[in-house]
Amino acid sequence: MKKALIVVTNPSQLRDEMDSTIVEYTDGKPPINLYPKRIVSPTRGNTCCAMNMEQIGGIKEGDKRSYFYRRCRVCGYTVRHFLSAPVLDTPSGSWEDETTSVLKLVA
């Protein structure tokens, strides 16, 4: 099993990317899908979400990551589904370099 290592060099930039969403999470309003302008979602998902999530709209390009919205057809709970981890600048001599070298020796 391969584990991903995520290094955040600028936490405020990552926080800004995570906060820039059209989803308003609240339990005080009924769920509504006004995509692409706005989506009102409950603050928590339910058991129905496991089998009823559907993609809303197309793939969006964030600053560093691509994503799309997924919304439960039953309760309206909505999340952003990120397609990939941010590409990191890996310094020379890192764990990835060592792994690649070992794999080349084995091949």
Residue 83 within a domain: yes
Q: How would you class 23 by CB atoms within 10 Å of its CB: exposed for 0-12, middle for 13-18, buried for 19 or more?
A: middle
Predicted pLDDT of residue 70: 97
pLDDT of residue 56: 95
Helices (H), strands (E): how many in the chain? 3, 6
> pLDDT tens digit string along 18-72?
557 899 999 999 999 999 999 999 999 999 999 999 999 999 987 778 899 999 9
For residue 49, what are the domain limits?
17-106
Residue at 9 is within a domain: no
Q: Residue 88 has what pLDDT?
A: 60
Domain count, the chain: 1
Stronger pLDDT, 92 or 72, i.e. the higher one:
72
The pLDDT of residue 77: 97
Structure-model confidence comparison of residues 66 and 2, the more confident one:
66
* Token output for 64: 């560093």
Which pLDDT score, from 0 to 100, does residue 87 have? 57
Residue 97 lies in a domain: yes
